[in-house]
Structure 1
Amino acid sequence: MSSIPTTTKTWILANHPKGAATYSSSDESATFKLVEQEIPKLGPNQVLVKTLFLSNDPAQRVSIESSIPAERLYAPPVQLQAPMKAGGLGEVIDSTADNIPKGTIVQAGLSWSEYIVLDAAAASPRKPLPNGLSLTHYLGALGGPGLTAYYGLVIIGEAKKGQRIVVSGAAGATGSMVVQIAKNVSIFFPQPKHETCAEKDRDEQIVGASEVIGIAGTDEKCRWVESLGADKCINYRSKTFEQDLIKATDGFVDVYFDNVGGETLDIMLGRLKQGGVSIACGAISNYNAQQPSVLKNYFQVITMRLSIRGFIVLDYAPHFGEVIALFIKSLQEGKLKISDESEQVVSTPFADIPKTWLKLFDGGNTGKLVTKIV
């Protein structure tokens, strides 16, 4: 029987980044630094978790940004010299909690650490998924990105049958779920933000968008987005991207699900119908930029009576279980496509965790980007 570890390797936030983050075990100016720390002894109702998989999310970049006042963030930022925050999946290797024995696979906020001590209440055991799917989908389509897609489109965007919808970052973890929810996935009413949503009160129906237009970074990704249900997909790296997007949105559209911000948002402010809605989910094109983007079409927010609606999916946390159950049902009914193509799992030595995370910002991944610790 292997002994319980007493120390853990951990990536800490050593410096706030200026532009793209950097990492090193020795460079004092790097954003992230690799250190070794002692593991505290377990207290009552605690577990020691070995990290197996880490979730890579654009919002992590915001959590280490020094230019945004902490009081304007929805969650406390990572403090200097503290472990980098990350959700993930891990195996319980020691436990003082009766309800989470050793060997349990849990989902939790693990940080970029080999091992972490958690209160049992902060660790959620995960059951096997149908169709032999990997548990890593709890970090993507059946986790935060999928939930963000649902609440952003259905609740914040109030998407309706017959509407035309544009989705940027459509080959990403959230965007690829938006495409499917807009076309095929049943939703239920009353809305999940209500305090109760009993089975007898549910009236299931699909959003039923008349047209979904995706935006992705390669022709290959666009074909995948179309296989999920998009009517067409446009490559934003094409030299004719703006003209292609304007042509595709001829007659204008009702809803824009924005994952990227920047120039694409600016174009779309000019492509929304009067009263149209831009769902502000993310702005990944700006996260490493040292100069703010300029919205030349912003005045159309006024002239066309547009709404730009920001949201944080954590506001709906009490109802996450209901929506995940809905996704699993849709998966079993063939209305939702979740497969190996829905995620990119990168086998990563612990020393290269930041390197894999940085793949988020070069547009190279398809679906959810997951780090597998090897």
Structure 2
Amino acid sequence: MASSSTPSTTKQWVLANRPTAAPILSGDDATFKLQEASLPALKDGQILGKVLYFSNDTGLRNFIQSTVAEERFYVPMVPLGSPMRSGIIAEVVASASDKFKVGDNVLDFHLGAWSEYVVLEAANSQPLAPLPAGLSATHFLGALGASGLAAYSGLHFAAQTKPEHTVVISAAAGATGNMAIQIAAKLIGAKRVIGIAGSDEKCAWVKKLGAHECLNYKSPTFAADLKAATPDEVDVYFDNAGGEILDLMLTRMKKGGEIAVCGAVSTYNSGQPTVLRNWFEVVSMRINIRGFIMLDYMDKVPAILGELIGAIADGRIVLQDAETIVEARIEEQPEVWMRLFSGGNQGKLITKLII
């Protein structure tokens, strides 16, 4: 069913050019192009959603250009001329599905688009359950979405983190990092949890979340600070950064230490190959490096969400200040997303779309 005001067109951003370094936001070589597109008639099992929120994630950079061959990438990349993808929360404005009615709010983790209105498959869309303490449903895009699930699965399954471990987490003030700090410190009870973030202010917040220490990687004394903070070396490194921080962390790992690689945000826009001067540490110290993605553990998602929601309800996990929500028109979305790469967020960066 649909109302008489159901739109027939939408503004949307499409991928116009694949970037080789940082995405370009204007000019003839701009990475994205804003266009007006027709909305197709709904088929059985589809819904039309008015987008309320976009999920902004650094990993989307790899959806538009990656050093990994397309046939080896873990999800289909965005084809040229197609809408830019992202997680969304949307309000149903028309439905050809028994699963949702007009007025329902739905979540789509990855198959939404940078568009004012989107046609979604009802089977791939999730209803939004109420959260404890009146928390905003936007947390389903972050702490209770792909970010939180990645933090949990990386620590528990990829790295096999235990209470006796010393754990270091990079990008600790980001969407995944802040949840990894809290999961390591409060759910696993790791002996020592150390965050790495990009400012003293962010480090102060990370320590409030439960980290025993947090180090500012922009400090000229960062290398010495890291050594001083890890006198017994490191059992588990949860890597969101890659690049120079990963290179330095190789020198602090225990023999047989575990590195769970979630991302490499420092390298996505560099346009240069990653250089690891300390790579032979992997051999010398028998370091285990394991890449992972949250999608590997979809069968465990209900149990993970149950544990995380329980921890939020009893106060072990705190979501206060864990979102940066930016109100913006569709024309501004690429600029909002790019704030991720300059540290313009604390916790999850979300766009509240103004239509």
Asked whether the two chains share a fold, i.e. TM above 0.5, the reply is yes
Correspondences of 1:287-298 after superposition (within 5 Å): 287-298=268-279
- Indicate the residue corresponding to 2:62 in structure 1: 62
Correspondences of 1:19-168 after superposition (within 5 Å): 19-24=21-26, 27-65=27-65, 67-108=67-108, 109-168=111-170
CA distance in 2: counterparts of 1:128 and 1:49, whole angstroms: 19
- Indicate the residue corresponding to 1:353 in structure 2: 333
The one-letter code of the counterpart of 2:11 is K
- Indicate the residue corresponding to 1:209 in structure 2: 190
CA distance in 2: counterparts of 1:63 and 1:97, whole angstroms: 29
Residues 16, 66 of structure 1: 8 Å contact kept: no
- Indicate the residue corresponding to 1:226 in structure 2: 207
**What does the per-residue CA deviation read over 1:310-363, in whole Å, with 9 as the maximum and x for residues that have no partner?**
011101112212211111111111111112x00101111110000000011011
CA distance in 2: counterparts of 1:99 and 1:19, whole angstroms: 42
TM-score by length of 1: 0.92
1:247 paired to 2:228 = yes
Give the root-mean-square deviation of aligned CA atoms.
1.1
Q: CA deviation at 1:23?
A: 2.6
CA distance in 1: counterparts of 2:298 and 2:277, whole angstroms: 36
- Indicate the residue corresponding to 1:309 in structure 2: 290
CA distance in 1: counterparts of 2:220 and 2:189, whole angstroms: 32
Q: Pick from 313, 317, 325: which aligns with 2:306?
A: 325
Any idea what SS the aligned residue of 1:86 has? Answer: strand
CA distance in 1: counterparts of 2:139 and 2:256, whole angstroms: 36
- Indicate the residue corresponding to 1:368 in structure 2: 348
The one-letter code of the counterpart of 2:92 is V
Q: Pick from 323, 326, 335: which aligns with 2:316?
A: 335
Q: CA deviation at 1:365?
A: 0.8
CA distance in 1: counterparts of 2:285 and 2:112, whole angstroms: 45
CA distance in 1: counterparts of 2:166 and 2:299, whole angstroms: 30
- Indicate the residue corresponding to 1:188 in structure 2: none
Q: CA deviation at 1:72?
A: 1.8
- Indicate the residue corresponding to 2:248 in structure 1: 267
* Aligned residue pair count: 350
Q: CA deviation at 1:35?
A: 0.4
- Indicate the residue corresponding to 2:176 in structure 1: 174
Cα 1:28–1:156 shift into 2, 3 Å: same
The one-letter code of the counterpart of 1:112 is W
**What does the per-residue CA deviation read over 1:84-141, in whole Å, with 9 as the maximum and x for residues that have no partner?**
0101100000001122000000001211011111121011110221111111000000
Following superposition, which runs of at least 4 residues in structure 1 exceed 4 angstroms of deviation? none
Q: Pick from 262, 267, 289: which aligns with 1:281?
A: 262
**What does the per-residue CA deviation read over 1:46-102, in whole Å, with 9 as the maximum and x for residues that have no partner?**
100011100011111001115431012101110000000101100000001122000
CA distance in 1: counterparts of 2:259 and 2:244, whole angstroms: 14
CA distance in 2: counterparts of 1:147 and 1:66, whole angstroms: 23
Q: CA deviation at 1:293?
A: 2.2
**What does the per-residue CA deviation read over 1:280-308, in whole Å, with 9 as the maximum and x for residues that have no partner?**
11000000011112111110100100011
Any idea what SS the aligned residue of 1:361 has? Answer: helix
The one-letter code of the counterpart of 1:149 is A
CA distance in 2: counterparts of 1:66 and 1:160, whole angstroms: 33
Unmatched tracts of structure 1, length 5 or more? 186-206
- Aligned-residue sequence identity (percent) comes to 49
Q: Pick from 338, 344, 347: which aligns with 2:324?
A: 344
CA distance in 2: counterparts of 1:135 and 1:66, whole angstroms: 31
CA distance in 1: counterparts of 2:130 and 2:198, whole angstroms: 33
CA distance in 1: counterparts of 2:204 and 2:66, whole angstroms: 38
CA distance in 2: counterparts of 1:322 and 1:28, whole angstroms: 48
Q: CA deviation at 1:2?
A: 5.5
Q: CA deviation at 1:151?
A: 0.4
CA distance in 2: counterparts of 1:103 and 1:319, whole angstroms: 30
